[in-house]
Amino acid sequence: MTVHIQQPNSTETSTDGTRHSFPLERWYVAALSKEVKSDPVGKTLLNEPLVIFRTEDGQVHALEDRCCHRFLPLSSGSVEAGGLRCGYHGLLFNGDGKCIEIPGQDKIPSRAKIHRYVVKEQDEIVWIWFGSEATSEPASEPPRYQIHSDSGFYFDGDVYHYQAPYQLVHDNLLDLSHLGYVHLKTIGGNAKIHMNAPMEVTQEGESVKVVRHMLNSAPPPTYSAAYPFGESIDRWQEIVFYPSHLEIWTGAVNHNTDSVRDPDRGGFHMRGFHGLTPETEESCYYFWTIASNPSSNIEAVMEKIVNQTKYTFDEDKEVIEAQYKNMKRFPGKKTIDIHVDVAPNRARRIVESLKQSQTVGPV
C-alpha cells in the first residue's frame, strides 16, 4: 500500500477542513476525565474548535469554542455554577449552548446560543459524538474500557499532541516490531526476535487484531524494573484496532511457566488504552493510559511503569513527527511494504472504506 500525503483537491473542496475528512457516525475520545477539572479545555477535534468543561454537578459538556456575541473563544472564559462564562462581556452559557445571562440586560435574544456537542463520560474517558451532520444524535453508546474500573489493575495516563496525521500513529501501534530499534531503554529487547516473531492478523468488521509471541527472550528494562523475572521470559503482544482507538495487551511470564495463550495467565501485564483523535488532516491528539497488576510496592512500581511508558511514547512521538516531516519533504515518493505492514494496511483500508461510504456534504 502507498501512503499518500494529503494535498488540497479541487474536485473535493467540500471535505477540506471539515469533519467529513474523517470517518463519521462514531464516538471519538475528547479527553481523559482527569483533564477536565475546574478550567475549560479548548481543543480542535476533526477540524472543529470546541471547548470542554465540567460544571459543579460533575457533568462534562462540550460546546463550539466561540461566544456568539463577539467570538472570543469560550475556552478563555471561566466555569461557574450555571455554566461557562465568556471572558469578554460576561455572557453565560449552559451545557446545552444556550445563553442564560447577559450582564446588564434582561432580554436574551433567541439567537444567543451556540452548537452543543454530545459527550459521555465513562471509564475515566470523555467521548464525543461526530455524526455526518452537526445535529446528528448518537446511534450507539461509546465503547467501554472496563480495565479502568478493574480492582486488579492500577492505571494512569496522559495526552500528547502530534504534528502528524493520526493514521501514522495507528501504523506505529499496530507494528510493534519497531520496539527492538526505537525502545531499547524501555520495552524493547532483542531486535531480531521482534522482527522474526510469528504474527497472527485477523479482521472482524471494523477491527483488526494482531497477536505476537516472543518465547524464550530476555526481559526488557521496563519489565525487569516492575516484576521479578528470571533470565528468560515468554512475551505476548495483543493489539486490537478500532477506528477511534486501540487496545494493547502486553506482558510476560517466566519462560516455560504459564502458556502465553492462557487468558488467565499470571506474570506481568500491561493494558494500554490508546485514543487517537484527529485535530486536522495533519495533526492529532493521542490519549493514552497504562494499567498494570503489581502485587507489591504498588505505588513505586506503578510510578516506574507510567514513567517508562511515557518515555517510550516520547520516543515514538519523536520518530513519527520526524517521519511525517520527511514525508512532506519528498512529495510524490512512494513507500514500500514489508512483512510487518499487514495490520497497518488493513487498518488503513478500513478507515478509507468508512470515509468513502459516508455522505459527503457541508456540515
pLDDT in tens, 222-273: 788 788 899 999 999 999 999 999 999 999 999 999 999 999 999 999 999 9
* Angle between the N-to-C axes of helices 342-357 and 166-174, in degrees from 0 to 180, rounded to the nearest 10: 140
Asked whether residue 7 is assigned to any structural domain, the reply reads: no
Calpha distance 119→138 (Å, rounded): 9
Last residue of a domain, one of 130, 156, 171: 130
Whichever domain contains 92, its CATH number is 2.102.10.10
Q: Residue 327 has which C-alpha cell?
A: 514525508
Tell me, yes or no, whether 237 and 327 share the same domain.
yes
Tell me, yes or no, whether 278 and 181 share the same domain.
yes
Q: Is the dihedral of CA 79, 83, 87, 90 positive or negative?
A: negative
Counting runs of H as helices and runs of E as strands, what totals does the chain give? 6, 18
Tell me, yes or no, whether 221 and 315 share the same domain.
yes
Pairing of strands 233-241, 48-54: unpaired
Q: Residue 334 has which C-alpha cell?
A: 512512494
Residue 277 has pLDDT above 50, yes or no: yes
Last residue of a domain, one of 130, 165, 195: 130
Tell me, yes or no, whether 151 and 204 share the same domain.
yes
Predicted model pTM? 0.89
Please list the residues that pair with 214 across neighbouring strands.
235
Calpha distance 115→74 (Å, rounded): 12
233-237, 283-287, 308-312, 326-330: lowest mean pLDDT where?
308-312
Number of domains in the chain: 2
State the residue for C-alpha cell 477536565. 36
Tell me, yes or no, whether 207 and 323 share the same domain.
yes
Whichever domain contains 178, its CATH number is 3.90.380.10
- What is the secondary structure of 103-170 as a DSSP string? TTBS---TT-B--EE-EEEETTEEEEEE-SSTTPPPSSPPPP-GGGG-TT-EEEEEEEEESS-HHHHH
CB 220 within 8 A of CB 194: no
List CB contacts of 84: < 8 A, sequence separation 6 or more.
Answer: 40, 51, 53, 61, 63, 74, 77, 78, 92, 93
Asked whether residue 18 is assigned to any structural domain, the reply reads: no
Asked whether residue 205 is assigned to any structural domain, the reply reads: yes
Tell me, yes or no, whether 161 and 35 share the same domain.
no
List CB contacts of 37: < 8 A, sequence separation 6 or more.
Answer: 54
Calpha distance 290→297 (Å, rounded): 17
Calpha distance 6→281 (Å, rounded): 7
Calpha distance 279→180 (Å, rounded): 30
**Cβ atoms within 10 Å, residue 226:** 22
Which pLDDT belongs to residue 226? 81
Most confident residue range from 34-48, 207-221, 337-351: 34-48
Tell me, yes or no, whether 349 and 313 share the same domain.
yes
Asked whether residue 16 is assigned to any structural domain, the reply reads: no
Tell me, yes or no, whether 216 and 102 share the same domain.
no
Which pLDDT belongs to residue 6? 39
Tell me, yes or no, whether 96 and 163 share the same domain.
no
- What is the pLDDT confidence band of residue 22, given thresholds at 50, 70 and 90? very high
pLDDT tens per residue, range 51-110:
999 999 999 999 999 999 999 999 999 999 899 999 999 999 999 999 999 999 999 999
Tell me, yes or no, whether 155 and 294 share the same domain.
yes
Asked whether residue 169 is assigned to any structural domain, the reply reads: yes
Phi first, then psi, for residue 304 (nearest 5°) are -65, -45
9-13, 39-43, 354-358: lowest mean pLDDT where?
9-13
Which pLDDT belongs to residue 308? 85
Last residue of a domain, one of 101, 130, 159: 130
Calpha distance 233→238 (Å, rounded): 16
Domain that residue 324 falls in: 146-357
